[in-house]
């Protein structure tokens, strides 16, 4: 039922044994395996906890891409009332990798934008695995314009392997679309809160990740290029992705230390996919507390502070 990652194999074996024991006990009245099952279960839980407290950057990349991880629509379902999706860039078409709309978040009207990757073959194809064409970013700009005009906060959930590297993207100016979306984010006079929920890769992510507050889930990753891409360029071999993941410093913990992000949201033990509902609720709490603070500031202050935050970035690292 659940999808185990390669490095979770020992956990998978223990958990499989537990469920087999339980089934056996059900089928065989009078057979007492409760103690044994409980012992194994405790061992599995401990192993899970140990594994997840010391995930390597590459393991985190795999967790960030876990198919069972909550995606944009899971957060919308769990956190947003009256969600009203908005479509189209008004120039060419509608992109399904960047989605968004209006909704109520804990009482307050907001606009939402994010990447949706899909969760089965059909929806993954529909959402192009979260890889947006220019129309996705132009739709995001349009939705941010709407937020600006009506004074609504923007909640953005970047989660993408990168913009779609296809002919259509180049033909219709994906670079320009990303640049304009970044530009629009940085000029907003309404609060913008971003949560990198899975993988935030390259320009495709930054286009909707320039918020007053940028948060990452504990096991999400955020990078200038995918570890595979970096490895194939600098190591000339995609097999060195794990090395590239380590070298690039892509984890929430590293990025918090570099002051590139503002906050790290803890995940349930064993990752967001183990308890999506708890994850969604925790993200909701984090967004609410950020919006509470930002809501007290006037528009010019929000814009100025957002810009100054990015201008400051990296300067304190100089010796």
Partner 1 sequence: MNWITNFVRPRIKSMLGVKETTPDNLWTKCPSCGEMLFQRDLEAAQYVCSHCDFHMKANARQRFQWLFDDAQFEELPFIPVAADPLKFRDEKRYPDRIKEARTKTGQQDAVIAAKGTIAGVPAMVVAQNFAFMGGSLGMAAGEAFIAGAERAVNDHVPLVLVVASGGARMQEGILSLMQMPRATVAVQMLRDARLPYVVVLTDPTTGGVVASYAMLGDIQIAEPGAVIGFSGRRVIENTIREKLPDSFQKAEYLLEHGMVDMVVHRHKLKETIARLISMLMKTPVSAAIAKAVAEPEGGALVPDGVEADAVPPPPESEPQAAQ
174 scored as a contact of partner 1 (CB under 8 A): yes
Pick from 167, 203, 315, 192: nearest CA to 262: 192
250 binds partner 1 (CB under 8 A): yes
Tell me which of 125, 224, 281, 293 binds partner 1, using CB under 8 A. 224
If binding is defined by CB under 8 A, does position 307 make contact with partner 1?
yes
- Residues 183 and 176: their CA atoms lie apart, in Å, by 10
Count of C-beta atoms within a 10 Å radius of residue 81: 11
Rule CB under 8 A: choose which of 12, 45, 86, 179 binds partner 1. 179
C-alpha–C-alpha distance, residues 152 and 157, integer Å? 16
Which residues are CB-neighbours of 87 under 8 A, at least 6 positions away? 94, 139
Distance CA 185, CA 188 (A): 6
Q: Is 242 in the site for partner 1 (CB under 8 A)?
A: no
In the list 160, 197, 202, 220, the residue contacting partner 1 (rule: CB under 8 A) is 202
170 binds partner 1 (CB under 8 A): yes
Of 51, 59, 96, 182, which one interacts with partner 1 (CB under 8 A)? 182
Q: Look-up: residue for tokens 């004074």? A: 151
Residue numbers 136-165 binding partner 1 by CB under 8 A: 163-165
Does 300 help bind partner 1 (rule: CB under 8 A)?
Answer: no
What is the smallest separation between the CB atom of 34 and partner 1, expressed in angstroms? 49
210 binds partner 1 (CB under 8 A): yes
The stretch near partner 1 (CB under 8 A) out of 28-36, 41-49, 150-158, 242-250 is: 242-250
Q: Are 194 and 210 contacting, i.e. CB atoms less than 8 angstroms apart?
A: yes
Q: Which residues are CB-contacts of 126 (< 8 A; sequence separation ≥ 6)?
A: 96, 118
Q: Does 91 bind partner 1 (CB under 8 A)?
A: no
Closest distance of CB 131 from partner 1, Å:
9
**200-226 residues labelled b (16+ CB within 10 A) or e (exposed):** bbbbbbbbbbbbbbbbbbbbbbbbebb
Among 17, 249, 263, 297, binds partner 1 (CB under 8 A): 249
Q: Distance (Å, rounded) from C-alpha 200 to C-alpha 214?
A: 12
Closest to partner 1 by CB, 48 or 177: 177
List of residues contacting partner 1 (CB under 8 A): 163-167, 169-176, 178-180, 182-183, 185-187, 202-203, 206-207, 210, 222-225, 230, 233-235, 243-244, 247-250, 255, 258, 260, 307, 310-311, 313-315, 317-319
């Amino acid at each position: 039922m659940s999808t185990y990652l390669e490095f979770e194999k020992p956990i998978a074996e223990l958990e499989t044994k537990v469920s087999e024991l339980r089934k056996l006990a059900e089928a065989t009245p009078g057979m007492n395996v409760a103690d044994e099952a409980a012992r194994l279960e405790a061992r599995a839980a401990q192993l899970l906890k140990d594994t997840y407290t010391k995930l390597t950057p590459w393991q985190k990349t795999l967790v960030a891409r876990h198919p069972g991880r909550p995606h944009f629509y899971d957060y919308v379902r769990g956190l947003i009332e009256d969600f009203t999706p908005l479509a189209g860039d008004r120039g060419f078409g509608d992109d399904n990798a960047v989605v968004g709309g209006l909704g109520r978040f804990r009482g307050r009207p907001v606009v939402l934008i994010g990447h949706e990757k899909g969760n089965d073959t059909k929806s993954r194809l529909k959402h192009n695995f979260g890889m947006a064409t220019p129309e996705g970013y132009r739709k995001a700009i349009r939705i941010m314009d709407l937020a600006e005009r009506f004074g609504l906060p923007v909640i953005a959930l970047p989660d993408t392997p990168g913009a779609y590297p296809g002919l259509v993207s180049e033909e219709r100016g994906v670079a320009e679309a990303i640049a304009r979306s970044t530009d629009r984010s940085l000029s907003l006079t309404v609060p913008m809160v971003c949560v990198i929920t899975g993988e935030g890769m390259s320009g495709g992510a930054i286009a909707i990740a320039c918020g007053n507050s940028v948060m990452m889930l504990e096991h999400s990753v955020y990078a200038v290029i995918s570890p595979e891409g970096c490895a194939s360029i600098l190591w000339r071999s995609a097999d060195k992705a794990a090395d590239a993941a380590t070298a690039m410093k892509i984890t929430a913990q590293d990025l918090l230390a570099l002051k590139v992000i503002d906050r790290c949201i803890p995940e349930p033990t064993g990752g967001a996919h183990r308890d999506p509902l708890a994850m969604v609720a925790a993200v909701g709490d984090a967004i609410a507390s950020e919006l509470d603070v930002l809501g007290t500031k006037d528009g010019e202050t929000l814009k100025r502070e957002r810009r100054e935050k990015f201008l400051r970035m990296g300067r304190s690292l100089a010796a």
